[in-house]
Structure 1
Amino acid sequence: MTHATPTYATLEDWIAREARAFSLDDPQSFATAVDQMLALPGEQVELLGLGEAFHGGAGFLTLRNRLFQYLVQAHGYSAIALESSFPQGQLVNEYVAGRGPASYEQIQQSGFSHNFGKLEENQELVEWMRQYNADPTHAVKLRFYGFDSPTDNVDGADSPRQVLHVALDYLTSIDKASGQRHRSRIEPLLGQDATWQNPYALIDPAQSIGLSAEATALRIETEELISDLLIRRPELVAQSGPDRYREALQYALEARQLLNYHAELAGTSDERIARLLGIRDMMMADNLAYIVAHERSRGKVLAFAQNAHLGRGKAQMQFGPAVHAWWPAGAQLNEMFGPRYVVIGSAVGVSEATGIGQPETGTLENLLTAAPGPARLIPTHRGQGLPASELASLPTRSGSTKHPGYFMLTSHSLADFDWLAVLDSTPYSRGGPPLFNMNPDPTP
C-alpha cells in the first residue's frame, strides 16, 4: 500500500507537523517515536541503517544502543553491524555468544578496528548482548558483526593473510588435498604482513606493494580459489552446510577486493583516492548484504556507521586541496535492497566538547532543534512535498573546530536519508581519541 506524500508550505510547517519528540531517558517516548517510524515502511525492511554525524559522539552511540535494544525486544532484530573490521568482528561475536575470551578487555583491541573498542558505549552494547544471550529464555541469540573493509585501519590496510586463511582453512577441512594445493601456491606470495600494512602507502604510491609481481600473482591465485569454491558449491555445501560455505566464500571475496585496494594504492591515477574510497564502501555494502542473508531466517539487522557511508547520495571528502566523490555503501545498498533498506541520518545542535557551536539561523540543524526535544525523529519523504525554493537556498551550518569528520546537514540530506534523528546536544564519548583545536587563535 502506498501513501500520498503530504505537501508543506514551509520547512517549519513540515517540522511542526512531522517531528516526533523523544528523550533517551524516557523509554516510553522513545518507544513511541520508534514505533511510529517503523510503521511507515512496514515489515518489508530487512536492513535498517543508523548514521552518526561524527565518530565518538556519546549521544549518537547511546541512541544506537537504546534503538538496538528496543528493536530486539519489539521488532524482531537479531544482529547489529558496526563500522568496524569485518574479520575482526568475529572475535566480538564469539564473546557475545559466551565463547572465547572471558572479559571485554581481551577483545577491546583485537575485536575492533579504528580503536572503537575503547569507546565506553561500545562496551555497554557488547556486554548487554552477552547478558541477553546468556538468558535461556531468549531462543534467538544476538550476533555482532563488523562490516567495514579491512582497509582503513590505524596501521594501514590489512595484509590479505587473515581473510585468505579463513577460506583456505575451510577448503582444507573439506578436501585436504585441494586446500593444501591452493595454500602451497598462495603462502609464498604473501610475504610479510608489515609490508602490506605500510601506513605511508596512502600518501605515497611508491611505498605500496599492490602492483608488485608477487601481489599480481596473488590476485590470480585468489581468483583461482574463488573459482574453485564457486564451481564446487553443491558438494561443498552438502558437506559443510550453507552457513560455513557462505562464510568461506565471503572471506575469499573479501581477499579479492582487498588485493584490488592494494593495487589501487600503488596506482598514480588522478582518481586514485576516489577509487580507494569507492572500493572501501563497496566492500562495506557487500559485507552487509552477506550479513543480511546470514540473518534472514533469524531476524533483521541494524547497521551503524558515519552518515556519509550510509546515505543514498554520492559522498564527498576533501583530501589535500582536492574534493573526491564516490558512491558510498548506502547508495550500493539502495540498489541491492530497494525498499528493504531504510536509513536514518543523525544530526546535533551543539557539542561543546567537539567544537560544534550553535547552528546558524535558517540551517536545518537550527530549524530542527527548535522543535520540542531534547531529541526528535522526523521523516524526510526524500525531499518530496517540501518547498523547493527553501531547499534551494538552504544554508549549511559551520563545521566543527575540533572534529574533522563532522557531517553537517544539507538539502541533499533530505533525499539521502528516510528519517533524521536530531539531538539538541551530545558530549564526546569517554574512550574517544583526543581532539585538538584545528583553528587556533593566532593572537598571542
Structure 2
Amino acid sequence: MATDIKDSVHAVEAAAVMGLLPARPRLLALGEPTHGEDTLLDLRNELFRQLVEHEGYRTIAIESDCLRGLVVDDYVTSSGTDTLDEVMEHGFSHGFGASAANRELVRWMRAYNDGRPASEQLRFAGFDGPLEITGAASPRQALTALHGYLSARVDADLLPCTGETLDRLLGADDRWTNPDAMMDPAQSVGQSAEAAQLRLLADDLVALLDTRIPHLITTASREDGDRARLYGRTATGLLRYHYWMADTSPARMTRLCALRDLMMAHNLLAIAARCPALVHAHNSHLQRPKSAMQMWQGPVEWWSAGALVSAQLGEEYAFVATALGTIRHQGVDTPPPDTVEGLLYALPEDRCVIDAPRLTAALGDTRPAPRVSPWFGYAPLAPAHLADIDGLLFVKDVPQS
C-alpha cells in the first residue's frame, strides 16, 4: 500500500495543486485544522505568492472580519493612512493580527503593489462576518455606512429613514455586544421592537441600492459599489444573527452556526465575481460535507460556507484540506498508524501535497480509523471526507511558532 500512496505525493507548490484540478478555479480554498500556527500560514503565504506570479490570482481572502479586512485592503493598495502596526491591530479579528506570518503577508502585498496600476494590484479580504463564538458586533458600522453611501447619491425622499432614526434605533453598541447573550438568549436585543424595525430598514436600504445600480455605476466607482453591497450583506446578516441569538429553541446554535457560514458564503461569492482568489480558513468552514461541532448544549451540524459555495460554483470551487502529524506543544503527538494522518506520517516527506482521489483509490477497501485529538483546538481529518476534497496538504510536524 505504501508504494501506491507514494504515487499520490507531490511537492508543496502551486503548480502541483493546480495539476490536481480540471481547470483554474475562481475560488481555491485552502483549509487548516487548527488556528494560530505560523508554520501553516507561512506555507499559505508561499502558495499565494506562486499563485500570484504564475496563475494570475490577485486576491487572498481569510477567515477574518469582513469589515476590518477593509483596513488591510486599504493599506496594501496604499489608499489608507494607517501604519502597518495599526493595520495589524485593527484590520484582523480572532487575534489573527498578532501573527508574524499574517504581518509578513500584508507587508509583502503592499510591496508587490507598489508602482503597479490598480488593475494589477493584489487585494485583501476578510470573509467572516463581524462575529466571534462569544457574540456578534453591533450592526451600526454596516448600517450607517450603507445609509451614508446612499444618502450621498440618491434623492432624500427615496431613503426609508434618516441617519438620526438609525442612531436612535441602534442605541448603545454594548446592548448588541453583551457577551452574556450567547449563553442566555434573554439578554439578546435581537428580537426587540427596535431590532425588528432595523431589519425592515436594512432590507429597504439594500433594495434601494439594488434598484439604483444603473445610476450608481455611472456616478461612483465600482470599488465604492462593492463596498456598499458588502455593508448591505453585513447589516442584514448581523441583524438576522442577532434575531436568532434571542431564540430559545433547541435549534438555536445549529441556526447560528449555519447563519455565520451563510454570511461567509455570500462574501466569498462576491469575491469570486471579481477575480480568482485564494481562500484560507479552518477546514470546517471550507469542506463540502456537513460540518459538526460538540457544543455546550450538544452536537451541532450545519453546511459550511464551502459547501454552499461549491453548490453554486461547481468546478470553479476547489478545496485543499490541510492535515497534520504532530503539534507537540499542544499535546498532539505521533498519529496512530491506522489513521489517515498516521499513513501519511510514515512517508519520508516533511510536507507534501497529496492527490486525494488517488490516495482514496490506493486505500481501496481499507478504512482508516478516525484520529482522536487530545486538544480541543485541533480537528483531525475525517476519513469519510477524503472523497470530497480535491487535494490534501500534509505537514508532518508543526513546531511552536
2:338 touches 2:369 (CA, 8 Å); kept in 1? yes
1:151 touches 1:261 (CA, 8 Å); kept in 2? no
1:281 touches 1:327 (CA, 8 Å); kept in 2? yes
Q: Distance in 1 between matches of 2:151 and 2:58?
A: 31
Aligned pair 1:409/2:372, yes or no?
no
Q: Distance in 2 between matches of 1:14 and 1:164?
A: 55
1:10-409 → structure 2 map (5 Å cutoff)? 10=1, 12-20=2-10, 22=11, 30-31=12-13, 34-136=14-116, 140-152=120-132, 156-175=135-154, 177=156, 178-179=158-159, 181-294=161-274, 296=275, 300-320=276-296, 322-381=298-357, 385=361, 387=363, 389-391=365-367, 394-401=368-375, 404-409=376-381
2:321 touches 2:391 (CA, 8 Å); kept in 1? yes
Q: CA deviation at 1:388?
A: 5.3
Aligned partner of 1:421 in structure 2 is: 393
Q: Deviations over 1:189-216 (max 9, x none)?
A: 1111111011111111011000011101
Q: CA deviation at 1:413?
A: 2.6
Task: State the AA in 2 paired with 1:129.
Answer: M
Q: 1:316 to 1:14 in 2, by over 3 A?
A: farther
Q: 1:260 to 1:137 in 2, by over 3 A?
A: closer
Q: Distance in 2 between matches of 1:161 and 1:39?
A: 45
SS in 1 for 2:207: helix
**What percent of counterpart residues are identical?**
37
Q: Deviations over 1:320-370 (max 9, x none)?
A: 251100000110011121000111100111111122111012110010121
Aligned partner of 1:440 in structure 2 is: none
1:91 touches 1:107 (CA, 8 Å); kept in 2? yes
1:382 touches 1:417 (CA, 8 Å); kept in 2? no
Q: CA deviation at 1:113?
A: 0.7
Q: Distance in 2 between matches of 1:400 and 1:293?
A: 40
Task: State the AA in 2 paired with 1:66.
Answer: E
SS in 1 for 2:400: coil
Structure 1: give runs of 5+ residues left out of the alignment.
1-9, 23-29, 430-444
Q: Distance in 2 between matches of 1:102 and 1:187?
A: 27
Structure 2: give runs of 5+ residues left out of the alignment.
none
Q: CA deviation at 1:182?
A: 4.3
Q: After the TM superposition, which of the residue ranges 81-90 and 381-390 deviates more from structure 2?
A: 381-390
Q: CA deviation at 1:39?
A: 2.4
2:145 touches 2:228 (CA, 8 Å); kept in 1? yes
1:382 touches 1:418 (CA, 8 Å); kept in 2? no
Q: Distance in 1 between matches of 2:359 and 2:301?
A: 22
Aligned partner of 1:7 in structure 2 is: none
1:350 touches 1:425 (CA, 8 Å); kept in 2? yes
1:359 touches 1:398 (CA, 8 Å); kept in 2? no
Q: CA deviation at 1:130?
A: 1.0
SS in 2 for 1:334: helix
Q: Distance in 2 between matches of 1:134 and 1:235?
A: 33
SS in 1 for 2:241: helix
Task: State the AA in 2 paired with 1:174.
Answer: R
RMSD: 2.0
Q: CA deviation at 1:271?
A: 0.9
Q: 1:344 to 1:196 in 2, by over 3 A?
A: same
Task: State the AA in 2 paired with 1:104.
Answer: L
Q: 1:42 to 1:140 in 2, by over 3 A?
A: farther
Q: Distance in 2 between matches of 1:245 and 1:15?
A: 49
Q: Distance in 2 between matches of 1:91 and 1:208?
A: 29
Q: 1:382 to 1:16 in 2, by over 3 A?
A: closer
Task: State the AA in 1 paired with 2:335.
Answer: P
1:345 touches 1:421 (CA, 8 Å); kept in 2? yes
2:21 touches 2:390 (CA, 8 Å); kept in 1? no
1:114 touches 1:153 (CA, 8 Å); kept in 2? no
Q: Deviations over 1:158-185 (max 9, x none)?
A: 0001111221121122125245844343
1:208 touches 1:265 (CA, 8 Å); kept in 2? yes
Q: Distance in 2 between matches of 1:176 and 1:14?
A: 67
Q: CA deviation at 1:44?
A: 3.9
Q: CA deviation at 1:57?
A: 1.6
Q: Deviations over 1:384-415 (max 9, x none)?
A: 63555312xx21223133xx231101212303
